[in-house]
Structure 1
Amino acid sequence: MLTLQTQTFFPLILNPSKTLIPKFKTLNYSQSPGQIPIPTSNSGLRFHDKLLYLKTLNVNPQKALQQNPNFRSTPLESLKLVENCLLSMGIERGAFGRIFDMHPQLLSCDPYFDLYPVFGFLLNEVKIPFVDIRKAVVRCPRLLVCDVDEKLRPTLRFLRNLGFVRMNAVSCQTTLLLVSSVEVTIMPKLDYLMSLGFEYDEVARMVVRSPALLTYSVANNLMPKIEYFLSVMNGDLGELKRFPQFFSFSLEGKIKRRHRLLAERGLTMPLSEMLKISDGEFNNRLIEMKLRLLSRR
Structure 2
Amino acid sequence: MGLELSAIGRILDMYPELLTADPYDDVYPIFDFLLHAVQLPFREIRKSIIRCPRILVSDLGTQLKPTFEFLTELGFVGPNKLTSQTTLLLVSSVESTLKPKIDYLVGLGIEYDDVRNMVLRSPGLLTFSVENNYRPKLEYFLKEMNGNLDEIKRFPQYFSFNLEKRIKRRHRLLMEHGILMPLPDMLKVSDGEFNVQLLEKRLQMVEKRLL
Which residue among 169, 172, 175 is the counterpart of 1:260? 172
Partner residue, 2:159: 247
Q: Distance in 1 between matches of 2:174 and 2:24?
A: 58
Equivalent residues in 2 for 1:195-206 (5 A)?
A: 195-206=107-118
Cα deviation 1:104-130 (Å, max 9, x = unaligned): 111111101110000000000000011
Q: CA deviation at 1:94?
A: 1.4
SS at match of 2:179: coil
Equivalent residues in 2 for 1:219-238 (5 A)?
A: 219-238=131-150
Equivalent residues in 2 for 1:1-297 (5 A)?
A: 89-297=1-209
Q: Distance in 2 between matches of 1:97 and 1:213?
A: 30
Q: Distance in 2 between matches of 1:147 and 1:105?
A: 13
- Contact 1:177–1:215 (8 Å) recurs in 2: yes
Cα deviation 1:149-190 (Å, max 9, x = unaligned): 211111111111111111110010001101100001001100
Q: Distance in 2 between matches of 1:133 and 1:253?
A: 34
What is the aligned-residue RMSD (CA, Å)? 0.7
Q: Distance in 2 between matches of 1:133 and 1:170?
A: 11
Report which of the two structures shows the higher radius of gyration computed on alpha carbons.
Answer: 1
Specify the code of the residue in structure 2 equivalent to 1:133. Answer: I
Specify the code of the residue in structure 2 equivalent to 1:107. Answer: L
Residues matched between the structures, number: 209
More helix by share: 2
Q: Distance in 1 between matches of 2:72 and 2:180?
A: 38
Specify the code of the residue in structure 2 equivalent to 1:164. Answer: F
Q: Distance in 1 between matches of 2:122 and 2:6?
A: 31
Q: Distance in 2 between matches of 1:102 and 1:185?
A: 22
- Contact 1:90–1:133 (8 Å) recurs in 2: no
Partner residue, 1:82: none
SS at match of 2:135: helix
Unaligned runs of 5+ in 2: none
Cα deviation 1:7-62 (Å, max 9, x = unaligned): xxxxxxxxxxxxxxxxxxxxxxxxxxxxxxxxxxxxxxxxxxxxxxxxxxxxxxxx
Unaligned runs of 5+ in 1: 1-88
- Contact 1:146–1:152 (8 Å) recurs in 2: yes
Q: CA deviation at 1:255?
A: 0.3
Q: CA deviation at 1:92?
A: 1.5
SS at match of 1:296: helix
Specify the code of the residue in structure 2 equivalent to 1:104. Answer: P
Specify the code of the residue in structure 2 equivalent to 1:132. Answer: E
Q: Distance in 2 between matches of 1:267 and 1:261?
A: 9
TM-score by length of 2: 0.98
